Structure 1
Amino acid sequence: MELPGIDQEDVDVSLTDRALTIKGEKKSEREESRKGYHVSERSYGSFYRSIPLPSGVDTDKANAEFKNGVLTVSLPKTREALSRGKKIEVKAN
């Protein structure tokens, strides 16, 4: 997830067995004073995303990394999910 202008401290990542939730808040302030005028700007915004997870995610091995405004979340599968599969027999007509 790209999060330009947001600091790592302003990002919250949580995980349950059913969903990955990412919350954050962007805050910026700017002040400028010159002869004859003064400008003060503030902007705030928050976001919230909840992503449903498929079964078989190993929540104990999940990790998140924030670097250069990009949040990367890794959710490995459990051994059971990796080995789960079904072979389908091909029949001739």
Structure 2
Amino acid sequence: MGVISIRLQPEVESSLEAMAGKLHRSKNWLINEAIREYVARQELEQARWKETLGAIESVAQGKAVAGESVHAWLRSWGKPDELPPPGVAQ
């Protein structure tokens, strides 16, 4: 496990100290938890951005499902003549 030194603003440090006391956790635990959550959020954001770029590329290549086809399919849900999912228009 690595050791990193950080400087906290006084108001952040006092809030961290108070929260650690309320939760009966160490400041170290809270800092690790906050960083773990931040890193997970950033990784998710990067994955979503990559998916977005892939979707944009698909549309640029003409690989898209027509909106009306999707709406018609959704309107048919639960009905005896339910439509199959629409395919990619080419």
Normalising TM by the smaller chain, what interval?
A: under 0.3
Higher relative contact order (CA 8 A, sep 6+): 1
Kindly indicate which of the two structures has a greater share of residues assigned to strand: 1
Q: TM-score, normalised by structure 2?
A: 0.22
Q: Which structure shows the bigger proportion of residues in helix conformation? A: 2
TM-score (normalised: structure 1): 0.22
Higher alpha-carbon Rg: 2
